[in-house]
Amino acid sequence: MLTFLRHNRILGIPAAARTVVLVTACTAVLLAACPRPLAGAEHRQDVRPSAQAYLHYSLGRLMELSGALTDALVQYRRADSLDPGHCELGNAVARTLHALGKIDEASAKSAMALKLCPGNLEALAIRAELLFVRGEFQQAEELLASVALDHDGPREFAALYAQALLSQGRIKDGAAFLRSRSEADSLDPGIAFLHGRVLLLQGDSNGAVSEFRRSARLDPGNRVVTAMLSRLLIAIGRPEEAVPMLEWIHSRYEAVEPEFISLAAGYSLMGESERAQAVLDTATARFGDTATILRTRGATYFGADDFDNAIAAYEKLLEIDENSVTALNFIAYTLADENRDLDRALEYARRAVKLEEDNPLVRDTLGWAHFRLGNMEQARRELDLSLELGGDNPVILEHLGDVLFELGLVDEAVGAWTKALESSPGRASTIERIERTGDEIPARLRESPNGETP
C-alpha cells in the first residue's frame, strides 16, 4: 500500500484529499478480502452481513483516526445495523457520538451496549464517562463499584470510582478508598497521583508531596504530575526542589502560561528576581500582558523590595480589570504601609471593600489606610470588623494594637499584640511593639516553634 501511495505521489496532496484517497484505496483492499458467496449459492447470504459490517467498521475506524468523526459515525451506524448486538460496534457508535457532543444519544447507546454486553470493559468505561459528563455521579459509583473494588480489576476503574466518590463531595470516603488502594497496589501511578490530590484537598501538604513523588517515580517524565508537584513545592516554600522540575518541563516542552508563572515564582522565592522577570518577559512575549502574568510580576517585584515597579505592574492590571481586588488591595496596602499617597490608598481600599465586603484582609487594608491618615475611630471600626471576619490573624491584631495604642488604650493594645504573638509566636515586629511599653513577654511566645522568625 505504501509503495502504491509513493509511486502515485499521494503523500504530497492536501490532507482532505489524501484521506479520501486512503479510504478509497483501503476500501478496495477490504472488499477484496471480504468473503463472496459461492457460485450457485445465492441462498447463503448469512455470511454477508457480518462481512459487510466488518467493512463499514474498518472504514469508520480509519475515518475516526483521521478526525472525520461525522463520516466515521455513518460507517459505524451502518455496521451496527448489519450486525446488531455486537459489543464493539455499539461501543464505537457510543464513543463517536460522545466525541461529537451528542451526549443524550451517546448515553442511550452506551446503556444499550452495556445491557447487551454487561462484562465488556470498554462498554463499562464509556458508560461511566458519560455518567460523569451528565453529572450522575452516584450512578457512576454504583456502576463502577464491582470492578473498582476488585483489586484484580483494571487500575483505570479504581481511579474512575474514586473520582465518582469525590465528585459527590465524599472526600473522606474517597480518601479512604484511595489509601487502601494505594496500599494494595503501590505500583499504580494514577492512584498515587489522585491520592496526593485528595491529601492536598484535606490540607496534608507533606502527604500530598510524598504521593506525587511516588507517582512521578512510577511514571517518570509525566508532565502533569511533575507540574503539580512543582507547584505544590513552591506553595509550601520549597522552591529549590521545584525549580529543577520546572526547568526540565521548559527544556522539553512548549511551556504553557501556568508553567511560566510557577518557574518565575520559584526563582523569586529563591531571591533570583532578575531570572524571574526574564521568565515573565518570555511569557509576555508569547501570551501578552495577561492578568496572571501581571499579578506574578507585581509579586516578584514586591519580593525584591522594588515597590514602585510592583505598584506599576498592579496598576497595569487595573487597566485590564478595573475591579481586580488583588490589584486594588495590594496598591492600597503598599502605599499605606509606606505612608505615602494616602488619599489614593484610601480610595483603592474603599473600592476593594465595596467589591468584597466580607474579605478580612481587604478590611484590614482599609483600616490601615485610615490609621495612616489619623482616622483612628474609623480604623478601629474596620479592624474590629476584620477580626470578626478573619479570626486571630496576627497582622490584623498587630494593626489593631497600633490603633488602640494611639488612642491611649495601652493595656488593650498590649492585649491585642499578645494575642498576635499567641497566634504567631516569635513574631519580631510584635515583640518590638510590646517591648516599647515595658510589658513582659512570656518566654514561650518569644520564639517560633521552628526557631524561625515568622
Answer whether residue 166 shows pLDDT above 80: yes
Sheet strands (E) in 59-146: none
Alpha carbon 423 to chain centroid, angstroms: 31
Report the alpha-carbon distance of residue 284 to residue 104 in Å, rounded: 42
> Is the separation of the CB atoms in 291 and 260 below 8 Å?
no
Q: Round to whole Å and give the CA distance between 161 and 173.
A: 11
3-state DSSP assignment of residue 13? coil
DSSP for 168-235 reads: TT-HHHHHHHHHHHHHH-TT-HHHHHHHHHHHHHTT-HHHHHHHHHHHHHHSTT-HHHHHHHHHHHHH
pLDDT tens, 263-322?
999 999 999 999 999 999 999 999 999 999 999 999 999 999 999 999 999 999 999 999
- Per-residue pLDDT at 449: 63
| Distance, CA of 224 to CA of 342 (rounded, Å) | 45
* pLDDT confidence bin for 34, thresholds 50/70/90: very low
Q: Is the pLDDT of residue 261 over 70?
A: yes
pLDDT band at 452 (very low <50, low <70, confident <90, very high): low
Interval 395-451: pLDDT, tens? 999 999 999 999 999 999 999 999 999 999 989 999 999 999 988 888 888 886 655
What span, in angstroms and rounded, lies between the C-alpha atoms of 197 and 366? Answer: 36
Q: Choose among 255, 262, 291: nearest CA to 276.
A: 262
End-to-end CA distance of the chain: 71
Q: Are 224 and 212 contacting, i.e. CB atoms less than 8 angstroms apart?
A: no
pLDDT in tens, 198-208: 999 999 999 99
- What whole-number distance in Å separates Cα of residue 200 and Cα of residue 231? 12
φ, ψ at 172 (rounded to 5°): -65, -45
* CB neighbours of residue 332 within 10 Å: 28
What per-residue confidence (pLDDT) applies to 448? Answer: 67
- Distance between CA atoms of 297 and 273, rounded to whole angstroms? 10
Q: How many residues does the chain have?
A: 454
The residue with cell 526542589 is: 241
Q: Amino acid letter at 327?
A: A
Torsion on CA atoms 148, 153, 158, 159, rounded to nearest 10: -150
Residue where the block lists cell 518566654: 443
Whole-model pTM above 0.85? no
Amino acid in position 58: S
Tell me the pLDDT tens digit for each residue of 345-386.
999 999 999 999 999 999 999 999 999 999 999 999 999 999
**What was the pLDDT predicted at 184?**
82
